[in-house]
Amino acid sequence: MSRFAELLRAANNLKLLAAIGRSGGTLNSVADLVDNMIDSPQMVDSIRRFRAVAGGAAMLEQRYPPLQPDIDGLIKLPEGSLGRSYAELIRKLNYDPEFFRPRPIDSEAQWLTQRVATTHDIHHLVAGFGTSSAGESGVLAITAAQIGFPAYVLLTTASQLASFRFQLERYEELAQSVAHGMAIGHQAHCLVAARWEEGWDRSISDWRLELGISDPANAKVYGLDLPTSCETLEEST
């Protein structure tokens, strides 16, 4: 890709980040940033990293179907199971379970982008991060650390810079959440490569044990168990 094209992409990223800041992180503004990076050199490297994780190459080659959750069915699973917990979270926060932007999955970059988008809320559950702005940054930091997903690297970096410059009173919590997410990202198995759909009936604690998440964020101020975790942004995918 030419240097001029990359300069144009960088300029567009700055405009999109500004739009995200103004909108408070709405679905469309974040999705625009995600899509702006699909054919970037950074996405090529993210695909390389995803291929290197356990199960990643097989998922890419199979074009493992993007998540399409049946909320009515999942809510009937046993209490504490991943599926029921996911359905309860979606209903509690009044989210559309198909919030993610429809994308083709013909290319590896398109498939990986859609996999990240559709499984984002599951990462909140298994890692224990709330959906406040700090919690969102923490859970994005996991994927940024594990596979260098370009839009999430940009968002976690930009959120810290913006908070440090304009909302200093929130910076400590945000920085702690991002650091926690980075730590989980480096210690745990790749969350994007987990085949959640094949284990909806398993407990979250069982999933954490398998993935190597020994320090979930639930009880932190940015954690999912805190009442403030429901003071949410829209989904950041």
Say how far apart CA 132 and CA 152 lie, in whole Å: 16
Question: Token digits for 185?
Answer: 């990202």
Question: For 166, how many CA atoms within 13 A lie in the half-sphere containing its CB?
Answer: 7
Say how far apart CA 234 and CA 228 lie, in whole Å: 15
Task: Give how many domains the chain has, as a whole number.
Answer: 1
Q: What is the pLDDT of residue 215?
A: 97
Q: Is residue 169 part of a domain?
A: yes
In which band, very low, low, confident or very high, does the pLDDT at 30 lie, cut at 50, 70 and 90?
A: confident
Question: Token digits for 50?
Answer: 């995803």
Q: What is the pLDDT of residue 68?
A: 84
Q: For the beta carbon of residue 48, count every other beta carbon within 10 angstroms.
A: 13
Which are the contacts of 49, defined by CB distance < 8 A and separation ≥ 6? 146, 147, 148
Q: Is residue 40 part of a domain?
A: yes
- Residue at token pair 């702005």: 133
Q: Is residue 235 part of a domain?
A: no
Q: Is residue 100 part of a domain?
A: yes
Say how far apart CA 178 and CA 25 lie, in whole Å: 17
Least confident range from 26-30, 193-197, 229-233: namely 229-233
Task: Give the model confidence (pLDDT) of 174-219 as tens digits.
Answer: 999 999 999 999 999 999 999 999 999 999 999 999 999 999 999 9
Average pLDDT of the residues of the chain: 86
Closest-CA residue to 210 (of 63, 84, 92, 55) = 55
Say how far apart CA 146 and CA 150 lie, in whole Å: 11
Q: Are 132 and 222 in contact (CB under 8 A)?
A: yes
Q: What is the pLDDT of residue 226?
A: 72
Domain limits for position 125: 3-230
Which are the contacts of 163, defined by CB distance < 8 A and separation ≥ 6? 170, 171, 174, 175
80 φψ region: left (φ > 0), alpha (ψ -120 to 50), beta (else):
left
Task: Give the model confidence (pLDDT) of 136-186 as tens digits.
Answer: 999 999 999 999 999 999 999 988 888 888 889 999 999 999 999 999 999
3 burial (CB, 10 Å; 0-12 / 13-18 / 19+) is exposed
Q: Is residue 142 part of a domain?
A: yes
Read off the pTM.
0.86
- Residue at token pair 């998922």: 59
For 223, the 3-state DSSP assignment is: strand
Task: Give the model confidence (pLDDT) of 84-112 as tens digits.
Answer: 999 999 998 887 666 667 788 999 999 99
